[in-house]
């Protein structure tokens, strides 16, 4: 399938004037005034984004159903809170990239694991997601003096990426730009791993070129496709796989969790496929766990389960 994934076909919304205005307000007036502006901006985007609202509600209702908490199913107010949390994440991201990370407390679960992986010197694949704040984890790595290379597909949001690159030019040195049409990306990842560095990949979106390397597993009680690329690279290079997530707990505190998905032991060619599938299943299970913990912090506002495109009916999890 050559068609681009749905999320990459969602055009970048907003304008450079609006984004730069928000950054200028943060620099001039600080957090309180800028926070008011952020709420006005996100209200506008919520009211004008019909497909995103529908996707948000569909996701929140899956979480509600699976959580078993009872009560009324999520409606438009809960969907707005979902959008608002994304705006707060971007708001904090501006602070991180303006060099104001010292305003935040980072609680780290899994520090011993993280230190062990680094000390081992084999490098590692860090698998994250669009849950919480990836930049909070980058801030953590910066404080620890650890090099983290981020594999990114940047073509869908050139405006946002260019502005953040202007705010923190040094961070650009550690970005590996994904090119699905070339093997150059894989060689670049391998060179960083061989140097004992970390390569971070967001593994919950299908990138262009991933259509032939997907694995369908259960996620929030429904079948969903996940890309296998990050797990294939880790298997081929024989390096550990660590799942990390950074969740916003309050205005100045993030909780970061690191969990080992694979030690990076050698896998025979005949067992490789099943090993990769098991890694995807573990990843999806942990992503589900944290979505149930902080449902408003998963920032995928599109038809993730592809139910609008004719896949089979939803299935329930086994008890």
State how many domains the chain has.
1
pLDDT the model gives residue 201: 93
More confident call, 179 vs 43 = 43
Domain assignment present for residue 318? The answer is no
What single DSSP character describes residue 302? S
Q: How far apart (Å, rounded) are the C-alpha atoms in residues 233 and 194? A: 12
196 near 121, Cβ under 8 Å? yes
Which of 233, 310, 232 is CA-nearest to residue 273? 232
pLDDT the model gives residue 247: 98
* pLDDT band, residue 95 (cuts 50/70/90): confident
Domain assignment present for residue 311? The answer is no
pLDDT the model gives residue 316: 34
pLDDT the model gives residue 178: 78
Q: How far apart (Å, rounded) are the C-alpha atoms in residues 202 and 46? A: 25
More confident call, 240 vs 312 = 240
Enclosing H/E stretch for 250: strand 241-250
Domain assignment present for residue 314? The answer is no
> What digits encode the pLDDT tens for the residues 1-38?
334 444 334 444 555 566 677 788 888 888 888 889 88
176 near 149, Cβ under 8 Å? yes
- Structural domain range at position 59: 6-298
Domain assignment present for residue 317? The answer is no
Domain assignment present for residue 313? The answer is no
Give percent above pLDDT 70 in the chain.
82
Domain assignment present for residue 306? The answer is no
Domain assignment present for residue 304? The answer is no
Q: How far apart (Å, rounded) are the C-alpha atoms in residues 187 and 199? A: 12
Domain assignment present for residue 189? The answer is yes
């Amino acid at each position: 399938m050559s068609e681009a994934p749905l999320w990459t076909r969602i055009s970048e919304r907003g304008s450079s004037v609006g984004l730069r205005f928000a950054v200028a307000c943060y620099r001039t007036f600080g957090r309180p005034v800028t926070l008011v502006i952020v709420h006005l901006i996100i209200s506008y985007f919520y009211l004008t984004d019909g497909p995103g609202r529908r996707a948000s509600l569909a996701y929140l209702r899956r979480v509600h159903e699976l959580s078993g908490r009872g009560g009324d199913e999520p409606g438009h107010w809960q969907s707005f809170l979902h959008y608002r949390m994304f705006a707060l994440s971007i708001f904090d991201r501006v602070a991180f990239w303006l060099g104001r990370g010292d305003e935040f407390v980072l609680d780290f679960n899994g520090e011993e694991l993280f230190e062990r992986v680094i000390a081992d010197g084999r490098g590692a694949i860090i698998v994250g997601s669009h849950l919480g704040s990836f930049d909070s984890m980058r801030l953590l790595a910066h404080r620890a003096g650890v090099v983290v290379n981020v594999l990114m597909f940047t073509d869908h949001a050139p405006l946002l990426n260019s502005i953040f690159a202007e705010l923190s030019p040094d961070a650009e040195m550690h970005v590996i730009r994904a090119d699905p049409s070339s093997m150059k990306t894989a060689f670049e990842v391998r060179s960083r791993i061989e140097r004992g560095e970390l390569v971070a990949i967001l593994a919950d979106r299908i990138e262009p070129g991933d259509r032939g390397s997907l694995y369908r597993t259960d996620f929030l009680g429904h079948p969903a496709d996940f890309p296998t690329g990050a797990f294939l690279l880790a298997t081929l290079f024989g390096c550990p796989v660590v799942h990390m997530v950074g969740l916003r707990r309050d205005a100045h505190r993030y909780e970061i969790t690191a969990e080992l998905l694979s030690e990076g032991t050698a896998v025979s060619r005949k067992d490789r496929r099943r090993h990769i599938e098991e890694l995807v299943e573990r990843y999806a299970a942990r992503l589900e766990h944290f979505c149930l913990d902080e449902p408003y912090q998963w920032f995928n506002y599109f038809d993730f389960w592809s139910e609008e495109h004719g896949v089979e009916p939803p299935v329930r999890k086994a008890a």
